[in-house]
A and B are shown apart, each in its own frame.
Chain A
């Protein structure tokens, strides 16, 4: 009797194996930190199902995100997940929207909290595991595929020098102005370019208005460095005449706004999914004044 049962089980297993769907996955090693951004980039995640020659199965994708020690930190809710019917002998390619439907994903504890606050998981190495399961009993209907990925959001540069609202002495600034900023963190795997732009804030203009509406006096891509010495080749003389008296001079400043845009090796904004979407750091203001003694006051 036992032998009969074992034979039946074996046959059922063999039948099940034959009814399986072959799956494969391509996942970028360093996908965008915002999980919702995966759906916007086809190159991030591709999932291929090769339907069985014999049976037409109705399946769901069992998606799990794990830490490298195997702890499941997020998984799809199979009850509400979308079902698929791979056509026999036909390859079906699915993207992130179907494979990792965030509206159906349940994350654990601190991961859920991080996701709700930031849209990102804490920076770390993770594993994405996918497997098809049959309806209605969720029995595996495919092999299990897992891929590792590293998740870390880019922190854009912070503009450091000239400091915000710093006054530079015109006699020096007319020859050289040094710009410094912090590097993008973490260090990207490909070369990044820091696009440095300097705009003059004209009369009757607000600071950000000048940034958004004027032609930049400097527009330069800097690669592999976080400092640039600008030789402005500008007359820093105020537009309105100034009586140069050492005791009774009303200081007239020229005002500038500068900003860094971080670009990837293709010249595209490095971090498109955060903030303004242009990978532009927070701009800073500086003045060029014709009075040295006003600096720092």
Chain B
């Protein structure tokens, strides 16, 4: 905490001194602020039937306030504040904080990812980072989670000096529920980067990131999660050459303790002064590399990633290690930019460390778009992935193969009053899974066909669209047919100050020999630009679903409604 105070004091003094020398500050404030209300309703029939569960909070209010105070050309004070009135956490360490559940204390509230309070004062090349920050130093070090704390980002000339420390999750005690709170240990993160960068030329940096859980920070502690500690040190080097050539590389080593309550040991080497070894400490490596060329009409690149089985980082909590993959990708515009081809081909190998059973995946994608003339265009796509592995003690190995092929011709024609777009799309998807006990392969075939018609009037303001979709999925003992008709209409009203758009969608759903289900979805949005700065956006949606006899009780139905309305104010004192 003292360090944070020192950083803060130093920065304020630095800015005050610099600011005092300025004669006439050119002060301005710009940004946005707003409030949004979200409402949700669900009526289920017959009464007491719980076959469909709510999927949004009943009520929610969200605030955002993002002003940027610009004192002169060198000093700015941007705030980034967004908050929700109610916690709605269903996954991750805060899972269980939901409306009607246990209350959060202040530390839990301020570090809850639903809230974001940050201010980043910036003077020339020096930026102070306060509050919740989502800082990504590199792909292997950190990170994709928000951390509430303090730090700085200094960029004198081409140098990069960054540091940040804070709490990525507060201590949360286990609660059996309902609702169950899985609980979490308080986790503090530290990160540091020292580097050099010249935009478009090169970037080199040394990154160190650490995360540590506090063993006594939750009582009772989580049942399934253990207190962890991780340190990652990575070296990143990106170089950009002439004519679009580039080489990107990063190598990293992690030292990770799965369970801080496991006994300390001398048999495993500690990584002093960052981490002391326990019996659950592992040390492993990761690397990424990419080489390629980017051009106006042609891209070609190959990239690969290696994650050792013991590689873990606190900055990317969902990272899956123990894999090696490579991907060759290309993008090609030709035929006077009327033909566009995007393709990728690659392989992923899991269990490179041989601690699990080896698994191979093949990945191939192709998307080919051609604009033949002003009227006709065609899009073709093909996606494939295969997965193959032994399956332990079972007689047959795992083998899943997915193939998707689609084509979509579009025809556009016009006259003096309107243009018309007619599009057809067909997709065939085949997914085969082998049963590891019997060796039998189950085929799963899906056909999707879609017609879309969009007229555009040159002299009228309204813009309708129509579409019809047929979807058929056939798998052993289950056949599902979906038929959808939908239509939308957009138009300005009230002297073009309000943009209205509505959509109506009907779904016919049939499973096996059961009586069909019916589904009707209606939605409307109204965006009212009250003046240049102030707008009021409203979105309403309702969804009525009635089962046939595919579930009990027969004829069960529900009506789901959602409302979202909010005011947004954009301000900029310079424009006044």
Q: Footprint of B on A, CB under 8 Å?
A: 33-37, 39-40, 97, 101-103, 105-106, 114, 116-123, 150, 152-156, 158, 160-161, 163, 169, 171-172, 174-176, 178, 180, 182-183, 185-187, 189, 197, 199, 202, 204, 206-209, 211-219, 225-227, 229, 231, 233-235, 237-246, 259, 261, 268-269, 272-278, 280-283, 292-293, 295-297
Instruction: Tell me the complex Cα distance, A102–B263, Å.
Output: 8
Cβ-based interface call for B342 (8 A) = yes
Asked, given contacts A208-B144, A281-B318, whether A117 binds B283 with beta carbons under 8 Å apart, the answer is yes
Contact A123 B356 (CB under 8 A): yes
Interface centre among A120, A202, A244 (most CB of B within 10 A): A244
Contact A213 B469 (CB under 8 A): no
Contact A182 B387 (CB under 8 A): yes
Across the interface, A235 reaches (CB within 8 A) one of B226, B391, B503, namely: B503
What 19 new A-B contacts, CB under 8 Å, besides A33-B356, A185-B357, A206-B134? A102-B263, A106-B267, A117-B284, A119-B282, A155-B359, A175-B484, A178-B429, A180-B402, A185-B392, A185-B398, A208-B113, A213-B88, A215-B55, A217-B55, A240-B537, A244-B456, A246-B419, A293-B369, A296-B365
Contact A237 B392 (CB under 8 A): no
B220 CB to closest chain A CB (Å) equals: 15
Q: Which of B115-150 contact A (CB under 8 A)?
A: 116, 134, 144-146
Instruction: Tell me the complex Cα distance, A210–B32, Å.
Output: 21
Instruction: Tell me the complex Cα distance, A5–B255, Å.
Output: 59
Contact A186 B265 (CB under 8 A): no
Contact sample, A vs B, 21 pairs, CB 8 Å cutoff: A40-B259, A102-B279, A118-B353, A150-B393, A154-B356, A155-B322, A158-B350, A160-B387, A180-B402, A182-B359, A183-B400, A187-B398, A204-B116, A207-B144, A212-B93, A226-B400, A227-B433, A241-B525, A261-B91, A272-B225, A292-B410
Residues of B within 8 A of A103 (CB): 263-267, 279
How would residues 453 to 480 of chain B score, 1 for a CB under 8 Å from any chain A CB and 0 otherwise? Answer: 0101000000101010101010000001
Contact B393 A185 (CB under 8 A): no
Contact A174 B484 (CB under 8 A): yes
Contact A175 B94 (CB under 8 A): no
Cβ-based interface call for B452 (8 A) = yes
List the B residue with the shortest CB-CB distance to A159.
B320
Across the interface, B92 reaches (CB within 8 A) one of A34, A160, A211, namely: A211
A224 CB to closest chain B CB (Å) equals: 10
Cβ-based interface call for B160 (8 A) = no
Residues of B within 8 A of A272 (CB): 224-226
Instruction: Tell me the complex Cα distance, A239–B90, Å.
Output: 24
Residues of B within 8 A of A180 (CB): 402, 431
Contact A153 B356 (CB under 8 A): yes
Asked, given contacts A34-B280, A239-B537, whether A246 binds B507 with beta carbons under 8 Å apart, the answer is no
Cβ-based interface call for B244 (8 A) = no
Contact A158 B320 (CB under 8 A): yes
Residues of B within 8 A of A121 (CB): 355
Interface centre among B91, B281, B383, B521 (most CB of A within 10 A): B91
List the B residue with the shortest CB-CB distance to A274.
B258
Interface centre among B228, B258, B509 (most CB of A within 10 A): B258
Cβ-based interface call for B330 (8 A) = no
Asked, given contacts A206-B134, A233-B560, whether A118 binds B310 with beta carbons under 8 Å apart, the answer is yes
Across the interface, B319 reaches (CB within 8 A) one of A155, A158, A214, A282, namely: A282
Closest 5 CB pairs of A and B: A186-B392, A296-B367, A235-B523, A36-B280, A212-B92
B374 CB to closest chain A CB (Å) equals: 11
Asked, given contacts A178-B429, A182-B361, A296-B367, whether A215 binds B263 with beta carbons under 8 Å apart, the answer is no
Asked, given contacts A172-B450, A241-B500, A296-B342, whether A39 binds B355 with beta carbons under 8 Å apart, the answer is no
Instruction: Tell me the complex Cα distance, A218–B526, Å.
Output: 27
Residues of B within 8 A of A204 (CB): 64, 66, 82, 116
List the B residue with the shortest CB-CB distance to A155.
B356
Instruction: Tell me the complex Cα distance, A103–B452, Å.
Output: 67
Instruction: Tell me the complex Cα distance, A7–B350, Å.
Output: 62
Asked, given contacts A152-B356, A174-B505, A186-B356, whether A246 binds B400 with beta carbons under 8 Å apart, the answer is no
Instruction: Tell me the complex Cα distance, A176–B484, Å.
Output: 10
Contact B91 A197 (CB under 8 A): yes
Residues of B within 8 A of A276 (CB): 317-318
Contact A39 B262 (CB under 8 A): yes
Where chain B touches its partner, the secondary structure class is strand
Across the interface, A209 reaches (CB within 8 A) one of B146, B278, B361, B467, namely: B146
Cβ-based interface call for B488 (8 A) = yes
Q: Which of B20-63 contact A (CB under 8 A)?
A: 53, 55-57, 62
List the A residue with the shortest CB-CB distance to B93.
A212
Contact B387 A212 (CB under 8 A): no
Contact A36 B309 (CB under 8 A): no
Contact B564 A116 (CB under 8 A): no
Instruction: Tell me the complex Cα distance, A55–B51, Å.
Output: 66
Asked, given contacts A156-B320, A277-B224, A296-B342, whether A120 binds B90 with beta carbons under 8 Å apart, the answer is no
Across the interface, A171 reaches (CB within 8 A) one of B182, B348, B452, namely: B452
Contact B353 A114 (CB under 8 A): yes
Contact B259 A120 (CB under 8 A): no
Contact B383 A163 (CB under 8 A): yes
Across the interface, B379 reaches (CB within 8 A) one of A176, A178, A293, namely: A293
A25 CB to closest chain B CB (Å) equals: 20
Contact B113 A213 (CB under 8 A): yes
Q: Which of B323-380 contact A (CB under 8 A)?
A: 340, 342, 348, 350-351, 353-357, 359, 361, 365, 367, 369, 377, 379
Which stretch from B5-13, B67-75, B538-546, B548-556 is at the chain A interface? Answer: B538-546
Cβ-based interface call for B499 (8 A) = yes
Contact A212 B484 (CB under 8 A): no
Residues of B within 8 A of A214 (CB): 88, 90, 114
Contact A277 B225 (CB under 8 A): yes
Instruction: Tell me the complex Cα distance, A204–B564, Å.
Output: 16
Across the interface, A243 reaches (CB within 8 A) one of B342, B486, B490, namely: B490
Instruction: Tell me the complex Cα distance, A118–B503, Å.
Output: 53
Contact B541 A235 (CB under 8 A): yes
How would residues 434 to 456 of chain B score, 1 for a CB under 8 Å from any chain A CB and 0 otherwise? Answer: 00100000001010101010101
Cβ-based interface call for B389 (8 A) = yes
A212 CB to closest chain B CB (Å) equals: 4
Contact A36 B262 (CB under 8 A): yes
Instruction: Tell me the complex Cα distance, A117–B265, Å.
Output: 15
Across the interface, A282 reaches (CB within 8 A) one of B320, B429, B482, namely: B320
Contact B318 A245 (CB under 8 A): no
List the A residue with the shortest CB-CB distance to B87.
A213
A255 CB to closest chain B CB (Å) equals: 15
Instruction: Tell me the complex Cα distance, A182–B388, Å.
Output: 9
Asked, given contacts A114-B353, A186-B391, whether A296 binds B379 with beta carbons under 8 Å apart, the answer is yes
Contact B351 A245 (CB under 8 A): no
Cβ-based interface call for B425 (8 A) = yes
Residues of A within 8 A of B473 (CB): 229
Across the interface, B310 reaches (CB within 8 A) one of A117, A171, A219, A229, namely: A117
Contact A296 B369 (CB under 8 A): yes
Across the interface, A277 reaches (CB within 8 A) one of B226, B267, B280, B351, namely: B226
Asked, given contacts A209-B146, A297-B342, whether A186 binds B527 with beta carbons under 8 Å apart, the answer is no
Instruction: Tell me the complex Cα distance, A135–B292, Å.
Output: 66
Instruction: Tell me the complex Cα distance, A82–B55, Å.
Output: 54
Contact A268 B224 (CB under 8 A): yes
List the A residue with the shortest CB-CB distance to B222.
A277
A98 CB to closest chain B CB (Å) equals: 11
B425 CB to closest chain A CB (Å) equals: 7
B68 CB to closest chain A CB (Å) equals: 15
